[in-house]
Structure 1
């Protein structure tokens, strides 16, 4: 697609604001226009004459122990006062293609346009102001830093640069965090601007912390002092180039602008908050507008932390998952200690919530927590580390990056295996799980009239754990063979896979459906726990036993939880993974996007925040392309009369796939092989003759291939492209 055509296409997906946001500040998801570069996040709020920019950063954490004192915190912001815009109209666009916000304020005799963006390549915030009218407009700019919460703030001036710092460096912290914002109004003395008609004015800020560089304040002052109009032009060129390359990595067209909008919007949000490899975003990304974000804004490991990235792997944006592994690896020493100290097991045992750099965010002083969980909030769950490994396996299977496997994924999975090999009980020719809660056990309570509620500690065979254990041990077997490691352990892993307990079921609403546990909790009305072994765990797919697929579909019907406090990232993709009615999936997905979204393209529910960024991409991707168990299926759960096409979605085996469905006919299949693995694909044209062509420069040659049942198999070479077509 040509650049002009692509820009026109993306304009349809802009976030549009007809009035100022009303949910900023917020302890959860904000509703204002958002921008970011994966490290610095900015959200805009306020009336035209009092615009406020809230500045946060993914590494700006207070690390005081005891829940919920340790969390990401607000750094500061910039206020822009334009008295001439009192009673002006408000309009803003969050433009995905340019990754900026263009605000238009129209008064009686003047029009002011404000364009705001965070450089994709540096921590520079740029605010461009231009007015139309007959007279100059005075503008006053204030830099502020968030006070309180046991922090220290300081302000100063260095020439035309105004700076502010906020510091958490008390003696009771695990580690200090200090941050600075240095700001300058180009061409003006001090922080006042005379905005001349037709002439652009700039406000520049640079944001750094002690985690970026030791002399963060001096560096931010120096960096902002080097920015002039020429440098702004260079930054803008670099910015545009980064985002152009980002959007070129994959695309969809499904004849539904609303769902397309949230598909692209979800990737925009993730690209704006998930690029600092040393610090992953917490529950609410890089738009923190309070010092008390809900649930401490940390990394909640019983799905909330893992969920945001579930769509990036198949969307060919694996680079956005780079920060994901960091806190999990940094917490391994804690996990080993907890497993040994509290459970007398090897391997790793993770709390529900963790933070960066091994920081435990959920330590508790309540009597119940001390009595039952040694002052932690494990909440009865043993599955957190295993569920965290699922994302690593997604990345591995979609990329077959053996260096990543050997350095990151495999060592982590080994520790998970070390735990479960010894935690599982082998009874009656099967492996059984005891004392593993399917849902959070509220040990934060100080007292309770009786201990009946503690029965969840006695949950036997929780369905999520049964699913992730299957996935983890299968992944270990695959990786160990690819890496030629731990041959002597494979027999045990295979034995676990062959003898792990079946998924529990029971009768409900006249159907056989999945039960949450074999003994213990049977059902939970307000959560989609009964299908998370399907997605994200990946233990069931279209190639599973037909009876199992029927149970899965009936479970989704009985759950009827399309609208759910916590289920948005799981229910739709689970439905697609097992072949549920695509018309219902699309209808309900569309409804959620309408009823539970903000103009900034955040989808929100009661729990979590950026976790919802995976809901639309992962569901749509699975409807268009599935590759579960290394077999590519094209448009497997898609209404065949609905035209659709996609470019460079990623399939298991490190394949980039493009295809199009038009008027019920599949027109073409293009497959780019990154690692030269054997390709297996369900025949797109049953009962018709198929050709497989390899592109070699400008030449094409026909490939040999084999057919077994309805699966076409052919060998590939790394870096080469293959086209499947139906012979006439």
Structure 2
């Protein structure tokens, strides 16, 4: 699709602002227009006469230990003052198709348009001002830097370039962070100038840190000097091409503009903040507007860090997940040390919160933490490392990238398995988990008695960990066979899988539902812990025992928590995974999008930020197509009378699938095989004669296939396309 076509298609999904933002600055999610290139993030706030661009960067961290000192911090920004716009009307649109914000300010006799974007391929921030007024308008531009919080700052000029510098370099830091913004106003000798009618004026900035290049100040200044109107045109051509290719990777049409808007909007947010492979975004992405983001803005491993990417795998945006693994791998030496020192286990044992570059930011000096957790914030949980492995398993199964498996996923899963092999207790012909809290034990509080503390730590067989162990050891067995590694260990892994304790259940509200632990806490009133073994852990699916599916559906009914402080990325996808009523899922998902969102398409709840970016994509994708049990099911949890269409969603087995539901029937199925694996499809036409063809360029040929228990299976070749049709249809 050409860029102009994407512009027309995506226009209805743009973020629309009718008043200035109210939640900037914020220590959580911002509500202003946002732009970014996966490294540099910009949020725009302010009244028409004083627009402020807040500039942050995913690698701009203060690496000071003892929670919550270490966190991503604000770098600086640009103020654009146009006094003549006082009392002007405010309007802005956040364009998804090319990641630009177009702000329009109108007074009685003047109008100014401000267009802002961050170049997709470079750390250049571009602001274009255009006046439709009859007279010149005075403009003053100020470059500013955040100060305080034990940082050093500096500023200066080099020709027509202004620059600011902020750095954290104290001896008490694990590593230094230094960053700069270099800015110039094109065609103007100073930062105060007259905006002439009909003539575009540009403000440009370049943003770098010491994590990009050693001489980052000089480099940013020189880069800013090189930007002229010709360079802007070139940057925009590359920018537009990047976003056009991004949107071409997958699409949906489901007859619900609200859900479509947040499906695309969620991918937009992730593409704007998750492309720096060395520094993934923290809790609030690349839009940090204070030095004290909530929860340290870190990588919270008991669900929040993992959640943002859960939608990108099935949406065929694997590239957005590439930063995810980096801090987990960098933390392994710490994890090994903690497992050995504190639990006398091999493998890895991770804190609830970690930082980049092996930075242990979740250390604590509270009496409770020192007494019970060696000065850490494990918060009683042993499951964090296993939960981080879920994303690696998703990426592996969706791509069957054997290089990724051998170099990243498998070595990491081995360490997770090493831990659980040592930590599990085998008794009474089953494996049991002791002293693993289902929920955070609040070691930062000091009001609990010792007896209460110990009780909090005594959870036995927590539901989530039981689900994670099933996924981790199943994944290890599969990966071990594919890579021909550690065959001598498979018997043990299989034994764990076959003898791990059953998922605990109990009676509540007249229904059999899942219990949070076998012994310990039975329920939690304001969280979705009772379904996270379903999603993301993947312990239950449509092929599971019908009684288990009934218990899962009962749990969701009793949970009745479509609105939740922390559960948005889990509840809807879990409901789809176990075949819950699709009308209810869609109705409640739509309601949450309308009631808990900002105009910038952030969906927000109390407990997090970019984690909510997976809620709509993963749920909708799972309703349109499921494949986690290695069988592609088309529209398995979708109202059959509701037309829907999707293009290039990714299925387990490294298959790219397109299909349509129309007139209560699947119209067609197109499948691209990336890895040449056997493809298995739940038969969408059980009473029809089916034809399967292999497409290779202009060549077509029929292929043989088998049908067993209503599952179609056929062999594929990597790079080939396959079409499934009823006999009466043509390709």
Q: TM-score, normalised by structure 2?
A: 0.99
- In structure 2, what is the Cα distance between the partners aligned to 1:143 and 1:511? 61
Question: Which residue does 2:14 correspond to in 1?
Answer: 14
- In structure 1, what is the Cα distance between the partners aligned to 2:318 and 2:133? 47
Question: Which residue does 1:152 correspond to in 2?
Answer: 152
Question: Which residue does 1:715 correspond to in 2?
Answer: 715
- In structure 2, what is the Cα distance between the partners aligned to 1:449 and 1:416? 33
Question: Which residue does 2:531 correspond to in 1?
Answer: 531
- In structure 2, what is the Cα distance between the partners aligned to 1:708 and 1:727? 19
Offset, 1:666: 1.0
- In structure 2, what is the Cα distance between the partners aligned to 1:316 and 1:644? 18
- In structure 2, what is the Cα distance between the partners aligned to 1:81 and 1:454? 58
Contact 1:441–1:454 under 8 Å retained in 2? no
- In structure 1, what is the Cα distance between the partners aligned to 2:299 and 2:406? 24
Offset, 1:511: 0.2
Question: Which residue does 2:415 correspond to in 1?
Answer: 415
- In structure 2, what is the Cα distance between the partners aligned to 1:454 and 1:5? 61
Offset, 1:449: 3.8
Matches within 5 A, 1:342-381: 342-381=342-381
Contact 2:35–2:99 under 8 Å retained in 1? yes
Question: Which residue does 1:247 correspond to in 2?
Answer: 247
**Mapped pair 1:612 → 2:617:** no
Question: Which residue does 2:39 correspond to in 1?
Answer: 39
Question: Which residue does 1:674 correspond to in 2?
Answer: 674
Question: Which residue does 2:511 correspond to in 1?
Answer: 511
Offset, 1:688: 1.2
Q: What is the total number of aligned residue pairs between the two structures?
A: 728
Offset, 1:546: 0.5
Offset, 1:249: 0.1
Question: Which residue does 1:547 correspond to in 2?
Answer: 547
1:463-500 CA-to-partner distances (Å, cap 9, x unmatched) read 00000000000000000100000000000000000000
- In structure 2, what is the Cα distance between the partners aligned to 1:694 and 1:264? 31
Question: Which residue does 2:107 correspond to in 1?
Answer: 107
- In structure 2, what is the Cα distance between the partners aligned to 1:420 and 1:450? 28
Question: Which residue does 2:171 correspond to in 1?
Answer: 171
Question: Which residue does 1:193 correspond to in 2?
Answer: 193
Question: Which residue does 1:324 correspond to in 2?
Answer: 324
Contact 2:2–2:244 under 8 Å retained in 1? no
- In structure 1, what is the Cα distance between the partners aligned to 2:385 and 2:133? 60
Question: Which residue does 1:339 correspond to in 2?
Answer: 339
1:126-184 CA-to-partner distances (Å, cap 9, x unmatched) read 00000011111110000000010000110100000000000100110000000000000
- In structure 1, what is the Cα distance between the partners aligned to 2:619 and 2:551? 20
Contact 2:165–2:180 under 8 Å retained in 1? yes
Matches within 5 A, 1:96-135: 96-135=96-135
Question: Which residue does 1:61 correspond to in 2?
Answer: 61
- In structure 2, what is the Cα distance between the partners aligned to 1:350 and 1:187? 53
Q: Tell me the secondary structure at the aligned position of residue 454 of structure 1.
A: helix
1:430-462 CA-to-partner distances (Å, cap 9, x unmatched) read 000000000000111234245224312110000
Q: Tell me the secondary structure at the aligned position of residue 461 of structure 1.
A: strand
Q: Tell me the secondary structure at the aligned position of residue 688 of structure 2.
A: coil
Question: Which residue does 1:575 correspond to in 2?
Answer: 575
Matches within 5 A, 1:380-459: 380-459=380-459
**Mapped pair 1:499 → 2:499:** yes
**Mapped pair 1:276 → 2:276:** yes
Question: Which residue does 1:85 correspond to in 2?
Answer: 85
**Mapped pair 1:686 → 2:674:** no
- In structure 1, what is the Cα distance between the partners aligned to 2:3 and 2:649? 20
- In structure 1, what is the Cα distance between the partners aligned to 2:580 and 2:446? 44
- In structure 1, what is the Cα distance between the partners aligned to 2:4 and 2:338? 56
Offset, 1:45: 0.1
Contact 2:683–2:712 under 8 Å retained in 1? yes
Contact 2:683–2:711 under 8 Å retained in 1? yes
- In structure 2, what is the Cα distance between the partners aligned to 1:2 and 1:534? 40
Contact 1:368–1:447 under 8 Å retained in 2? no
Which moves more between the two structures, 693-702 or 609-618? 693-702
- In structure 2, what is the Cα distance between the partners aligned to 1:482 and 1:449? 51
1:527-568 CA-to-partner distances (Å, cap 9, x unmatched) read 000000000000100010100000000000000010000000
Question: Which residue does 2:600 correspond to in 1?
Answer: 600
Q: Tell me the secondary structure at the aligned position of residue 272 of structure 1.
A: helix
Question: Which residue does 2:649 correspond to in 1?
Answer: 649
Q: For structure 2, which runs of at least 5 residues remain unmatched after alignment? A: none
Question: Which residue does 1:231 correspond to in 2?
Answer: 231
Q: Tell me the secondary structure at the aligned position of residue 21 of structure 1.
A: coil
Which moves more between the two structures, 313-322 or 4-13? 4-13
Contact 2:6–2:244 under 8 Å retained in 1? no
1:360-386 CA-to-partner distances (Å, cap 9, x unmatched) read 111000111000000000000000000
Question: Which residue does 1:222 correspond to in 2?
Answer: 222
- In structure 2, what is the Cα distance between the partners aligned to 1:2 and 1:296? 42
Offset, 1:98: 1.3
- In structure 1, what is the Cα distance between the partners aligned to 2:661 and 2:193? 55
1:629-684 CA-to-partner distances (Å, cap 9, x unmatched) read 10000000000000000000000000000000111121100000001000000001
**Mapped pair 1:202 → 2:202:** yes
- In structure 2, what is the Cα distance between the partners aligned to 1:3 and 1:64? 45
- In structure 1, what is the Cα distance between the partners aligned to 2:116 and 2:454? 52
Contact 2:3–2:240 under 8 Å retained in 1? no
Q: TM-score, normalised by structure 1?
A: 0.99
- In structure 2, what is the Cα distance between the partners aligned to 1:604 and 1:663? 36
Contact 1:254–1:644 under 8 Å retained in 2? yes
Offset, 1:4: 3.9
Contact 2:180–2:207 under 8 Å retained in 1? yes
Q: Tell me the secondary structure at the aligned position of residue 187 of structure 1.
A: coil
- In structure 2, what is the Cα distance between the partners aligned to 1:319 and 1:3? 21
Q: Tell me the secondary structure at the aligned position of residue 268 of structure 2.
A: helix
Contact 2:576–2:585 under 8 Å retained in 1? yes
Offset, 1:3: 4.6
**Mapped pair 1:140 → 2:140:** yes
- In structure 1, what is the Cα distance between the partners aligned to 2:518 and 2:318? 36
- In structure 2, what is the Cα distance between the partners aligned to 1:290 and 1:542? 45
Question: Which residue does 1:664 correspond to in 2?
Answer: 664
Contact 1:438–1:456 under 8 Å retained in 2? no
Offset, 1:84: 0.6
Question: Which residue does 1:265 correspond to in 2?
Answer: 265
Question: Which residue does 1:556 correspond to in 2?
Answer: 556
- In structure 2, what is the Cα distance between the partners aligned to 1:698 and 1:527? 53
- In structure 2, what is the Cα distance between the partners aligned to 1:572 and 1:407? 33
Offset, 1:2: 5.5
Contact 1:183–1:224 under 8 Å retained in 2? yes
- In structure 1, what is the Cα distance between the partners aligned to 2:476 and 2:190? 60
